[in-house]
Amino acid sequence: MIDFADKSIIVTGGAQGIGRSIAEHLLKHNAAVVVADCDDEAGAELIEYLDNHQRLCFIKTDVRSEESVIGCIKHTVKQFGTIDGLVNNAGIARSANAPVTEMSIEAWDNMLRTNLTGAFLMVKHAAPYLARQKGAIVNISSTRALQSEANTEAYSASKGGLVSLTHALAMSFANSIRVNVILPGWIDVSGLKKKGKRFPAQLTRDDHLQHPAGRVGVPDDVAALAAYLLGPEAAFITGQSFVIDGGMTKKMIYVE
């Protein structure tokens, strides 16, 4: 069993969805967890729900802002003394979905600044502390780095960038910080939204059966893998990409 006792781990975008599941999973394995998120309401709900104030800290953080990121890192070190792990999960998905000929430069920049530059800034300022602890970084990308739907250029580019950033960082931090990336496919996060946006899952039998694994993914699927990659049993794994999609990216699809 993984035990993160005396370890502190930052999870960006950790107040909802996959990030929240990762934060909860790490807490169950005795980590001290910093949830870095820009949503005050979701952060407050998470703190109230988990009621674990000694090992859980919410820090309002805008990963697009270097000043905000620096504040998050300083607060984490002040609270827990060090940083042993970092999960770069913060991201947005649909705000820039538009034909490329109609997409505004502002929408493009915001998508990349949130999904890709945010991870860069977190690594930039957490790395000195992570290196001292021989720590680990897990980036959360998407299978959109490998395959796409129409009009998702900004999102796909940002998630593809995370994959490349991962193996570059793994080489730059060789012998000091391990860096890996997870590419989730269809993960149902409807039950892990803040109260105002939470809704029951609306999945059909066909939704599940189109996956070779027989079901749509759940956030715990990603959380378990993230915890493994952060832990000591993954000590020989760095620079790698892990697709977790129920087999969908390996499935051949024919139109009859």
The dotted CATH code for 8-250 is 3.40.50.720
| H-run or E-run covering 26 | helix 17-28
Phi-psi sector, 85: left (phi>0), alpha (psi -120 to 50), beta: beta
Q: How far apart are CA 139 and CA 163, in angstroms?
A: 8
- The one-character DSSP state at 114 is I
| H-run or E-run covering 17 | helix 17-28
Per-residue b/e over 83-115, b at no fewer than 16 CB within 10 Å? bbbbbbbbbbbeebbbeeeebeeeebebbbbbb
Q: How far apart are CA 123 and CA 154, in angstroms?
A: 22
How big is the chain by its Cα radius of gyration, in Å?
18
pLDDT in tens, 8-59: 999 999 999 999 999 999 999 999 999 999 999 999 999 988 876 689 999 9
**Token digits of residue 77:** 């070190």
Has residue 253 got a pLDDT over 90? no
- Which band of pLDDT confidence, cut at 50, 70 and 90, is reported for residue 1? confident
Average model confidence (pLDDT) across the chain: 93
pLDDT in tens, 164-176: 999 999 999 999 9
**Token digits of residue 41:** 């309401």
Mean pLDDT of 106-130: 97
Can you give the residue ranges of every domain in the chain?
8-250
Three-state DSSP at 124 gives: helix
Say if residues 56 and 108 touch (Cβ distance below 8 Å). no
- Which band of pLDDT confidence, cut at 50, 70 and 90, is reported for residue 254? confident
Q: How far apart are CA 183 and CA 158, in angstroms?
A: 12
Order across the sheet with 85-88: list the strands.
Answer: 56-60, 32-37, 8-12, 85-88, 136-140, 178-184, 241-244
Active site residue: 129, 155, 228, 254, which one?
155
pLDDT of residue 128: 98
Residue 155 a catalytic site member: yes
Q: How far apart are CA 4 and CA 135, in angstroms?
A: 12
pLDDT of residue 55: 93
Q: Which residues pair with 88 in a beta bridge?
A: 139
- Which band of pLDDT confidence, cut at 50, 70 and 90, is reported for residue 196? low
Say if residues 19 and 190 touch (Cβ distance below 8 Å). no
Mean pLDDT of 227-245: 98
Chain-centroid distance of CA 136 in Å reads 13
pTM higher than 0.85, yes or no? Answer: yes
